[in-house]
């Protein structure tokens, strides 16, 4: 039986920021996935199985936090085009997170996405509804977290 909140899961959540730094500099940051903990308000730690650099198929374990609630997720890098895109799929909820880079006249545009075209797993639906404040609340938090993440990456990339 599908949760009534399944219809509330947005298939795409996306945020964008322009950075005054070359694609190569921005790529060095966003493709170093263990550094997500420095920028994301939700990620506490990312451990790569097999070490750096990130490759297609690299598996990772993330430790996430929201207030006092802490939970692990497992992910696998499913798209990797150097200086263009890095994407990883979360095993527990079946969503895919990515950073896409586009050159601009003054630097780089970063697009961060959470894609869930087929929704999220039944377990994730229940946990989001019961523990994380419901789909709308949690998705709003994800959107705000993306804004914070991108702002922090921009500051790092533009640092002299």
List the domain range (segments joined by +) for residue 105: 4-158
Residue 2 has pLDDT above 60, yes or no: no
Band (126; pLDDT cuts 50, 70, 90): confident
Band (145; pLDDT cuts 50, 70, 90): very high
**What is the arithmetic mean of pLDDT over 40-56?**
93
| Predicted local distance difference test score (pLDDT) of residue 52 | 85
| % the chain with pLDDT above 70 | 98
Residue 33 has pLDDT above 90, yes or no: yes
Count how many domains the chain has: 1
| Predicted local distance difference test score (pLDDT) of residue 134 | 85
| Predicted local distance difference test score (pLDDT) of residue 13 | 97
Cis peptide upstream of residue 53 (ω within 30 degrees of 0): yes
More reliable by pLDDT, 108 or 135? 108
Residue 1 has pLDDT above 50, yes or no: no
Residue 122 has pLDDT above 80, yes or no: yes
3 state SS for the chain: CCCHHHHHCCCEEEEEEEECCCHHHHHHHHCCHHHHHHHCCCEEEEEEECCCCCCCCCEEEEEEEECCEEEEEEEEEEEEECCCEEEEEECCCCCEEEEEEEEECCEEEEEEEEECCCCCCHHHHHHHHHHCCCHHHHHHHHHHHHHHHHHHHHHHHHCC
Tokens of 62: 């993330």
- 124: domain CATH number? 3.30.530.20
Residue 3 has pLDDT above 70, yes or no: no
Distance CA 20, CA 119 (A): 35
66-118 pLDDT, tens per residue?
989 899 999 999 999 999 999 999 999 999 999 999 999 999 999 999 999 99
| Pick from 104, 93, 109, 78: nearest CA to 142 | 93
């Amino acid at each position: 039986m599908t949760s009534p909140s399944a219809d509330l899961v947005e298939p795409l959540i996306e945020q964008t920021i322009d950075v005054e730094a070359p694609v190569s500099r921005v790529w060095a940051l966003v493709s170093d996935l263990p550094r997500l903990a420095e920028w994301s308000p939700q990620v506490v730690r990312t451990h790569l199985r097999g070490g750096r650099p990130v490759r297609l198929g690299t598996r990772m374990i993330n430790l996430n936090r929201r207030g006092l609630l802490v939970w692990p997720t497992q992910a696998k890098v499913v798209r990797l085009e150097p200086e263009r895109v890095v994407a990883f799929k979360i095993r527990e909820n079946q969503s895919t997170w990515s950073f896409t880079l586009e050159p601009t006249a003054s630097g780089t545009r970063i697009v961060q996405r959470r894609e869930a075209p087929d929704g999220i797993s039944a377990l994730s639906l229940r946990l989001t509804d019961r523990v994380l404040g419901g789909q709308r609340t949690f998705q709003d938090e994800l959107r705000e977290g993306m804004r914070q993440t991108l702002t922090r990456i921009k500051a790092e990339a533009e640092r002299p």
